[in-house]
């Protein structure tokens, strides 16, 4: 999940220090270093990555992701994730 683009993915905020964000669902339409912009039933919502946990649907599977692991610029996160995967493959 770290080594991919999140734009277009279905996301739910599972845990948040902001009680109004918990349970928020939508499709990622934009991403910055510190935020995800979700298209929800009630319009666009911007959610901070840090301090949140996200449930992400990819190819019919649900993944739980800690927002602190994705708190990088999207292009940096993708490169870091690719380097991590290549190290694990040895």
**Chain-centre distance for alpha carbon 71:** 9
**pLDDT(83) > 80:** no
pLDDT band of residue 8 (cuts 50, 70, 90) is: very high
d(CA 34, CA 50): 7
Residue 1 forms part of a structural domain = no
Of the two residues 16 and 70, the one the predictor is more confident about is 16
| Domain span at 30 | 10-89
Distance CA 77, CA 56 (A): 16
Model confidence at 3: pLDDT above 80? no
User: Is residue 2 situated within a structural domain?
Assistant: no
In a domain, 38, yes or no: yes
Q: In this structure, are strands 61-66 and 35-40 parallel, antiparallel, or unpaired?
A: unpaired
Whether 49 is covered by a domain: the verdict is yes
Residue 70 lies in a domain: yes
As for how many domains the chain has, the answer is 1
* Residue pLDDT, tens place only, 9-65: 999 999 999 999 999 999 999 999 999 999 999 999 999 999 999 999 998 999 999
Whether 26 maps to a domain, the answer reads yes
pTM: 0.84
DSSP the chain: -TTS--TT-EEEEEE-SSTTTTT-EEEEEEE-SSEEEEEETTEEEEEESTT-EEEEEETTEEEEEEGGGG-S-HHHHHHHHHHHHHHHH-
Q: Where residue 33 sits, what CATH number does that domain have?
A: 2.30.30.210
């Amino acid at each position: 999940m770290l080594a991919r683009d999140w734009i277009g993915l279905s996301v739910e905020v599972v845990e948040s220090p902001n009680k109004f964000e918990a349970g928020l669902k939508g499709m990622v339409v934009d991403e910055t270093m510190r935020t995800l912009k979700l298209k929800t039933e009630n319009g666009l919502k911007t959610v901070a990555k840090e301090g949140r946990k996200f449930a992400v649907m990819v190819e019919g599977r649900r993944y739980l992701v800690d927002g602190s692991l994705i708190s990088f610029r999207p292009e940096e996160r993708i490169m870091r994730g690719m380097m991590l995967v290549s190290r694990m493959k040895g």
